Amino acid sequence: MRWSMSDWWRGAVFYQIYPRSFCDSNGDGVGDLKGATAKLEYIAKLGCDAIWLSPFYRSPMKDYGYDVSDYRDVDPLFGSIADADGFVKRAHELGLKVMVDQVWSHSSDEHSWFTESRQSRDNPKADWYVWADAKPDGSPPNNWQAMFGGCSWTWDSRRRQYYLHNFLPAQPDLNVRNPAVQDALLDIARFWLDRGIDGFRLDVVNFYVQDALLRDNPSLNLPRAPARPHQFQRHLYERSQPETLEFVARLRKVLDQYGAISLGEVEDEEPIKTQRTYTDGPTRLHTAYSFTLLRPKKMTPSFIIETMKAWDGAQGWPSWSLSNHDVIRFPTRLADDDRERTKQMFALLLALRGTTFIYQGDELGLPHAEVPFERLRDPEAIAFYPAGIGRDGARTPFPWAHDANMAGFTSAQDAWLPLDPRHRTLAVDAQEADPASTLAFAKQMIALRKSSAALREGDFVALEAPEPVLAFERVAGSERVLCVFNLGDQASEWTAPTPVGEPHLSVGNPTIDGVRVTLPPYSALFV
């Protein structure tokens, strides 16, 4: 099926910028909007279609921008509203769309809305957050556990009630059931859309509304204690409530008026089911992603095929990524920091049906950085050390120049997070001089996808292949692209249903003899 120009995002390649760590223009050791603007040409030359820009709003930075105290202003750490406008203007000049984060599940406890809400039970914003009375014994309203550890409820002595926070106590949950809150959030959307933004990435979109009765989550009755308290429970009541979709429908109307798009982040026990629900039709989100491909430590043919088949017959459209600012970088998690295996995983990502998201540094094959405990900044990493995923390892400074101070990220002697020495040798300038580099391959793979309607928007057709070979076709009209991967550490052979032609691109030098394909370990082939 061919899509209209208004569906440009289907099969597009997005590049995620985490602004704190991308490029520092003023020498304070923290990346900013002017620094990111100066590097937009790099992203355009990489071949990407659009940018996802992580939060840059005014914030006390308890969760590094995901605790917003003013949704209509830029934090001085990152620059000004004029700098945000300049970023969008330059991106558009380069042919890049811009999608920005919106964090509407919760705000900062320093937001003026919460400051007013906590003063009394009868002020104009009293019902703008999720408040509940204590149980008769003074304990919290229910057994919900926060994602970052501890109870999801914190007592407030002014109201003599508990407020809900699914993350830090400094991130109180907005009451998105309240029509006045919905109206305020839609006004924020219009504020940024009026400034030329092309869409929104919606942080934990399925956390917007909770069970009206605040019922306890059931226990999983696990045989051994998990790493985090919230992992003891089935999360039935503090997320994925049907009322969230009523607000999504209101948001979709606004987005359609502007020709803008929405990407939802889904964190759920049944991730693909929820992804499908949240993208099922013209009143839902345009697309959504989950952690389906962001958490596994190994890719297998059966897993990939089952994941793709789970979208058969869906009205909605999926998005996929292997890394972002919240997880272990994929070269470490899936490729043992091996260059050729990293190329293979990058190729697999861009071969899948859906919209692709590349996290800054994926194209360089950056390993997950090692950050010593005394330099950790992420509250989640600190709370669960040493068992946590270490989100700071995905957020260290981006390496632009291998011989420069701090690899060209900043003129300061140090940055908000340390530079991993291994990243210096993988800097942009070093890889641009190497035709066999991961960066060179990333450009080739993106170009192949952009040149092919089948890879961008075609169907996914699985082919018979023995483990660990993954074989499938992407099909759009009369165009077919054969994609073959050996996901194992031993050479494998695969017999194609018809003779195999000349490859468009490969990893690891597979050989073709008629219908027989010989695949070295961790190789890939596109025909």
CA gap 99, 118 in Å, rounded: 32
Alpha helices in 411-503 (DSSP H): 421-424, 428-432, 438-451, 453-457
CA gap 186, 184 in Å, rounded: 5
Whether residue 386 has a cis bond before it, omega within 30° of 0? yes
Contacts of 190 (CB under 8 A, 6+ apart): 254
CB 183 within 8 A of CB 73: no
CA gap 13, 154 in Å, rounded: 41
Main-chain dihedrals φ then ψ at residue 524, nearest 5 degrees: -150, 155
CB 350 within 8 A of CB 357: no
Point out the catalytic residue in the list 24, 203, 363, 380: 203
Structure tokens given for 97? 């769309």
CB 108 within 8 A of CB 69: yes
Q: How many CB atoms lie within 10 A of CB 341?
A: 22
Point out the catalytic residue in the list 32, 265, 392, 473: 265
265 is catalytic: yes
Kindly state the DSSP code that residue 433 receives in the 8-state scheme: T
CB 469 within 8 A of CB 451: no
Kindly state the DSSP code that residue 162 receives in the 8-state scheme: E
Whose tokens are 């981006």? That residue is 398
CA gap 288, 296 in Å, rounded: 18
Q: How many CB atoms lie within 10 A of CB 422?
A: 14
CB 324 within 8 A of CB 359: yes
* Number of alpha carbons in the 13 Å side-chain half-sphere of residue 423: 30
CA gap 167, 153 in Å, rounded: 10
CA gap 362, 344 in Å, rounded: 12
502 is catalytic: no
Structure tokens given for 190? 């219009």
Nearest one of 308, 94, 499 to 86, comparing CA atoms: 94
CB 287 within 8 A of CB 263: yes
CA gap 409, 411 in Å, rounded: 7
The one-letter amino acid at 199 = G
Nearest one of 297, 267, 158, 121 to 206, comparing CA atoms: 267
Nearest one of 253, 240, 246 to 288, comparing CA atoms: 240
Main-chain dihedrals φ then ψ at residue 518, nearest 5 degrees: -100, 125
Residue 419 Ramachandran class (φ > 0 left, ψ -120 to 50 alpha, else beta): beta
The set of catalytic residues is 203, 265
